[in-house]
Amino acid sequence: MAGRPRQFDEIEIIERAAEVFWLKGYEAASAEELLMAMNIGKGSFYLTFKGGKRELFEKTLEHFSKESLEKLSKGIAAAQDKLAYLKQVFYELTEDAHISKNKGCYLGNAVVEMSNLDRELQLKAGYLLYKHELEFVKIISTLQSTGAIKTNESPEILGKYLINLWNGINITKRCSGDARALRSIIDLSFKIFT
């Protein structure tokens, strides 16, 4: 006899779970909080995520990375001034920086938290963050080939530079709520491209 059909959208419940993980972290997020946020029962949860909370967390990392990369890729493709768009992506990190508890970068948070909990998930989050670095490398290569930026630094080093800036802004934002100062840091950092 077949079980009841699924009554939920898996992507939607993954996004809801990600919000809990993002606010509380993996370890502090309880099963009850996750089930409540996802609005599903325990049976449905374990039928969908046979690996439990760990599998759910891994799926949230994958989904977050995919959505983030697609947004960046589509935005760059559509932008007339690709360097200005890229800078705006960094400016968006400073939005709501005045709120006392900022969430930081979902993938960066996972790398840090998993370093003491689960080496495999730490490497997974690090790899997904690295995919963002590779997207930065691709963007920089395009900007150099069209003459939109003048620096002769290698795209690979500049990709690392940008992912380092990304991580730094996300951490500094959690320590200091000064959005104007964060934007000034971004302005200074982007002078490397002119």
Which pLDDT tens digit goes with each residue over 86-141?
999 999 999 875 554 568 899 999 999 999 999 999 999 999 999 999 999 999 99
Confidence of residue 28 (pLDDT cuts 50, 70, 90): very high
Q: Which CATH architecture has domain 57-193?
A: Orthogonal Bundle (1.10)
Per-residue pLDDT of 155-165, as tens digits, reads 999 999 999 99
Confidence label for 6 from pLDDT (cuts 50, 70 and 90): low
What mean pLDDT value characterizes the chain? Answer: 92
Domain ranges of the chain: 57-193
Beta strand extents in the chain (DSSP E only): none
Number of Cβ atoms within 10 Å of the Cβ of 123: 14
